[in-house]
Amino acid sequence: MDGNRIFGNAVQGLAPQTRRLLLQALEQARMEGPAGLLEVMARALEEEEPARAAALLQAEGRRWAEEERPVAALAEQAIAAFRALSARLPGLPPDEETQAETVRLALFSELLAGFIQGREEIAARRRSAELTARMNELAALHKVISAANSSLDLEATLHLVVRTVAEVMQVEVCELYLFEPERGTLVLGAATGLNPEAEGRLRIRLGDGVTGWAAQQGRPVAVSDVRQDPHFLYEPILHEEPYRSLLSVPIVLYTVEKLVGVINVRTREVRTYTPEEIKFLEMVAGEMAISLENARLYQETDQRLRRKVDELTTLQRVSAMVAGTLELEKTLALIAEQAAKLGQADLAVIVEWRPPKHEPSIVTSWGLDEDRAGRLRQWLWSEAVHVHIATAGRPLAISADQETEAGRETRRAGFSALLCIPLRGKEGPLGTLCLHTERPEGFSPEVIDLLGIFADQASLAIENARLYSELRRTLEMKSTLLQEMHHRVRNNLQAVASLLNMQIRRLRDPRGVRLLVESASRIQSIAAVHDLLCQETLGITTVQALARRVLEVASAHLSRPGLNLRCQAVEEPPLAIGSKEATLLALVVNELLSNAISHGFARREQGSVVVDAYLADRQVVLQVRDDGQGPEEGAEGEGGLGLQIVRALVTRDLGGTFSLQRDGEWTVAIVSFPYRPPQEVAPAAPQVQEAP
């Protein structure tokens, strides 16, 4: 039954006399009883409409509820009012007394109904407000989490988070510190509302200030006024003077109980942070722990990958540099220098172990002075590094911080951290690469692995350099022997030519003289070839150089008195040939020149001979032209001895063709044979001037 019907039924049929008596009694009772409650009851009885009367009573009950006054107080005042009312009523007939009692109960019922309704409305509003606050809190938390997860860039994540937290919590300052385990400090990663120059520079030790205290205790610390708190530590770099309140919450990864950092909020006014605000910031810190740890791990992984790529790139570049050097001394020096740079060492040496006692010998070094060289040799000998490396076959790292005999010996030698890496070749150990660093952390496992890879590449480079040195010595020896052989052949041929010249001067028969002159010219031409073959690139000359030299030698021997002979070799791109082809071509040019002088210029006082050599269709083409009289018309056959020699040399020994033809005023001898590029033996050794 609703309030209107309850009150309406109670006053229905109430006699006017009884209503009047009740109103008079209420008016009198107001002087002694609770006036407010009695006044409301009187106004309700005066209303003609039961609904409005009930509304007045219920409104009074709701007022009590909104003022958060207990229902017992309402009942107590209602009973006091009814007692005051009963005391003012005269004796009523039983039926009117019953009606008056019903009215009193109805009045109390309406008051109680209003109180209950008011309580329910208040509870509903509170639930709605709590739900709204909770939804706002979740929305704010979602916003913070979204900001934290929006990027894997740690710096960008930190700045986005502090701006978002300051916005959703409506505070002037939000700052986020990251824990540095290696230092035991908190470094300011990002802040809004404070000096941005403090980011990355301000560090707080655990336990120092409110921030360090919260991190050390592992729980939130709320300070309404930092100026009154003993833990507060003023940091000038922050420019934090205007701010009074501070809430500091540690960021802890609770799955592993790992401190990640601390998040702070501040306001300008003195402020007592509510449990809800503290709880919200704790939730933010809990979510931030995972996001920050992921971002940190990503950054560390990315940095490690970048560092590894840089290291491998450097290793490739350095290995290529070392492998590209074939001189042993330069190779060793380059290995020491690049190893020091790769390992960030202040000195590097390559040590060989001299048998039979394996005494250390420094063959090359980088960054080593005489004082440290002596101490390093002593350390290598005392620590028997050769034995350790030969036994283990892996790098040996010793730090002065080690409480071992090796560590103590390293300290006595004045070194901080030493690393010895074996250099191994196919046939056995090549030596040891030793490095030293003053850095407290010494050589990390990653650096040792990188240097181990480099040492393998360096060992290969050392072997290649040694092989190159041995090969070079062998080639130089062979070059010297071959050069000496060419010298001796040339000298012997010149001796034979000298004997022939002596015979020519004694001979009186013109025919015999001519034959000996031709023979001496052939010998001198071959001697000229051997003279060319022992110059520049040993065992190799060019057709052009050969032609010039043979023309010079042969014209001096074959030309007769009274003949003005002009010889020319056409300038063409140099065409290299080997010793066999050179000897044969020398004889060919000599015979063709001899033929031109003997027959072409027989009855002339002057003449010209031009030699041209070039490459055409992988064939060497040699043309010898003279402007003397050509062969007689109709002359066929093999020709004289000289032409027979030329044809035999070209066709049988060179595998080519020979032709003799007339071209206007010129007689042209054409020699053609397959071109076989010579193989270079070695640069010729410097020639030794012979005693005259």
Fold of 324-462: Beta-Lactamase (3.30.450)
| Same topology between domain 150-301 and domain 507-674 | no
Handedness of CA 370, 374, 379, 381 (dihedral sign): positive
Q: What CATH code is assigned to 150-301?
A: 3.30.450.40
3-state secondary structure 351-413: EEEECCCCEEEEEEEECCCHHHHHHHHHHHHHCCHHHHHHHHCCCEEEECCCCCHHHHHHHHC
Fold of 507-674: Heat Shock Protein 90 (3.30.565)
CA distance 156 to 160: 6
Segment holding 131, helix H or strand E: helix 94-149
Residue pair 417/442 in contact by the 8 Å Cβ criterion: yes
User: What 8-state DSSP symbol labels residue 649?
Assistant: I
564, 613, 619: which is closest to 589 by C-alpha?
613
Regions in the chain scoring below 50 on pLDDT: 1, 3, 634-637, 681-692
Position 278 scores a pLDDT of: 92
Q: Where are the beta strands (DSSP E) in 16-55?
A: none
**Can you read off the two tokens belonging to residue 668?**
């042209």
Q: What are phi and psi of 625, to 5 degrees?
A: -110, 145
73, 84, 66: which is closest to 30 by C-alpha?
84
CB pairs under 8 A, 24+ apart, for 641-647? 642/518, 642/591, 642/592, 642/594, 642/595, 642/598, 643/591, 643/595, 645/587, 645/591, 646/587, 646/588, 646/591, 646/592, 646/595, 646/671
676, 659, 533: which is closest to 588 by C-alpha?
659
Determine the residue type at 151.
S
pLDDT tens profile 11-48? 655 667 666 776 776 666 666 656 677 777 777 777 77
Distance of CA 371 to the CA centre of its chain: 37
Domain ranges across the chain: 3-126, 150-301, 324-462, 507-674
Q: Give start and end residues of each alpha helix (H) in 507-618.
A: 510-533, 543-558, 579-595
**Within 10 Å of residue 192's Cβ, how many Cβ atoms?**
19
